[in-house]
Amino acid sequence: MSLRLLKSANVPREYLSKYYTEDFGVGIVHLGLGSFHKAHQAAITHEVLKKKPGDWRIVGVSLRSSNASKDLMPQDCLYTLLSKSVSGTNHQIIGSIAKALCLFDDFNEILTTMVSPGTKIVSITVTEKAYGFDRDKGRCDTSHSSIAHDLANPDNPIGVIGLLVKALKIRWENNYPAFTILCCDNLPDNGKMVRNAVMDFANRTTPELCSWISSNVAFPSTMVDRITPVPNASTREEATTATGLIDNAAVETEVFFHWIIEDNFSSGRPDWDLAGAIFTKDVNKFEKMKLRMLNGTHSMLAYVGFHCGYKYVRDVMTDSRLVKLVERHMQVVLTTLEPVEGIDFKVYAADLIERFRNTAIAHETFQIAMDGSEKLPLRIFSAIPNTNYTKSFLRPFAFSTAAWLRHTSKSTHDCEAYNLRDPRADELIKLELSESPEILSSQLLKLNLVTGELAKNRLFWLQVYDVLQDMMNSSMSDVISNEVLFEI
């Protein structure tokens, strides 16, 4: 029987950092304590603490479920990070998380930590749907459940924006310095988006707070990247085999990571660049590149791959027809991007293909297929205005859009029954997919998923419609066999 991963249970010294990170104080509260945070920011922070001691440990907060705290707290918040490549797996025990809390169980402790002057940064990875922000209106969406709740109960928030404003208000009332709000969600202009949400919420609840936020709180934008599948029993078994210790919080990820951060912090920051992060003035070009190249291609291959019966991305990459479609997608996306400092797009694209091929990573197509209504506008539709509007250049985007719509149909004509995991599933399932290209585009316009300009692009919708009819009437595998013959 193995020991539980605990500092008191003789974790071999070689697994711990040189400076055992427990010696350091807390400087960061992180909202959204999921696998991605553990594989990315927490792991990078651990590396920095090894190189440069400082009070930058993290209190991790889950906003909904207490699973993360139940797994982490009994093992002193230590966990194994498995970094996997075709040439093998590295394992490392990460010690940068000081505490794991859950908003429903530990509200007072979370608020006290956020308000403590020692907390210099509140970072966030909660995915877009948790913010309740309406990008088109540039305001909080008052029909979003946690925004509606928090506007009515600003002292007992249950959502991320309400919680940030409540903590900032207490700091302001006590004359404490502000913390920096560091959004690490995969969204364009993510710092600005959170700023707008916080300012709008504050304006509706405590207008006197707005000018203090405006002059004291920094909202740097970031681009984050590390492919991190949902951990499962085999992740935990592999961690135990590697360390000899039982670990209910192990995570697995790829070796590669990117973290580009706008260097704008109100009260200091760890030197994350010591562990490979890049501080820069302009994150947005990086974010656009990543969203369109990596995530856009990921979504396309996930919908198509899932309906061809491929469980993992690595399986998709064994089908030469799909590899051609992946290459075609990237080739066209590249023409929509402005040059990005330090990046050779051809190398970036080739590296992405290798990352997707990584046979050591079991990344489910079904996982990537979720939340399409939030992902497609950012990953696919946003690139279209930067194409030259020819049939060929529109084709990869039309093909991806058709594959997503086919997925929303829940049709089982070529696959087993599956769930549509999307916050707007109820609306998507009602879409009329076979009437006409015009009806297709007008329904998506009504749902606010496409802009008026894109909805009018007949050349685009004709192609979406044609491909979609094929996808609804024949097998996905037959459709891709034809699609690779399409000349662009």
Site residues for ligand CS2 per CB under 6 A: 186, 225-227, 295, 298, 367-368, 375
Residue whose CB is less far from ligand CS2, 149 or 258? 258
Select 166 or 226, whichever has its Cβ closest to ligand CS2: 226
Q: Give the nearer residue to ligand CS2 in terms of CB position, either 186 or 382.
A: 186
Smallest distance, ligand CS2 to C-beta of residue 375, A: 6
Strands 222-225 and 258-262: antiparallel
CB 247 within 8 A of CB 79: yes
Whole-number Å distance between alpha carbons of 404 and 401: 5
CB of 274 to ligand CS2, least distance (A): 21
115/183 with CB nearer ligand CS2: 183
Cβ atoms 333, 293 nearer than 8 A: yes
CB of 296 to ligand CS2, least distance (A): 9
In the bound complex, what is the minimum distance in angstroms from residue 468's beta carbon to ligand CS2?
Answer: 21
Residue 152 Cβ, how far from ligand CS2 at the closest point, in Å?
Answer: 33
The least CB distance from residue 180 to ligand CS2, in Å, is 22
In this complex, which beta carbon is closest to ligand CS2, that of residue 76 or of residue 364? 364
SS (H, E, C) the chain: CCEECCHHHCCCHHHCCCCCHHHCCEEEEEECCCHHHHHCHHHHHHHHHHHCCCCCEEEEEECCCCHHHHHHHHHCCCEEEEEEECCEEEEEEECCEEEEEECCCCHHHHHHHHHCCCCCEEEECCCHHHCCEECCCCEECCCCHHHHHHHHCCCCCCCHHHHHHHHHHHHHHCCCCCCEEEECCCCCCHHHHHHHHHHHHHHHHCHHHHHHHHHHCCCCCEEEECCCCCCCHHHHHHHHHHHCEECCCCEEEECCCEEEEECCCCCCCCCHHHHCCEEECCCHHHHHHHHHHHHHHHHHHHHHHHHCCCCEHHHHCCCHHHHHHHHHHHHHHHCCCCCCCCCCHHHHHHHHHHHHHCCCCCCEHHHHHCCHHHHHHHHCHHHHHHCCCCHHHHHHHHHHHHHHHHHHCCCCCCCCCCCCCCCCHHHHCCCCCCCCHHHHHHHHHHCCCCCHHHHCCHHHHHHHHHHHHHHHHCCHHHHHHHHCCCCC
- CA–CA separation, 34 vs 211, rounded Å? 33
Shortest distance (Å) from residue 286 CB to ligand CS2: 12
- Beta carbon nearer to ligand CS2, 106 or 364: 364
- Classify strands 79-85 and 88-94 as parallel, antiparallel or unpaired: antiparallel
Closest distance to ligand CS2 from the beta carbon of 193 (Å): 17
* Cβ proximity to ligand CS2, 227 vs 251, nearer residue: 227
Least separation, in Å, of the C-beta of 366 and ligand CS2? Answer: 10
Task: Output the smallest distance, CB 148 to ligand CS2, in A.
Answer: 27
CB of 37 to ligand CS2, least distance (A): 12
In angstroms, give the least distance from the CB of 7 to ligand CS2.
Answer: 30
- Toward ligand CS2, which CB reaches closer, 166 or 288? 288
Residue closer to ligand CS2 (CB basis): 295 or 469: 295
Cα atoms found within 13 Å of the Cα of residue 218, Cβ hemisphere only: 18
Looking at beta carbons only, is 298 or 328 nearer to ligand CS2? 298
Token reading at 121: 């940064």
Which lies closer to ligand CS2 via its Cβ, residue 11 or residue 368? Answer: 368
Short-list 258, 256, 253, 199, CA closest to 224: 258
- Report the residue number, 172 or 272, with the smaller CB distance to ligand CS2: 272
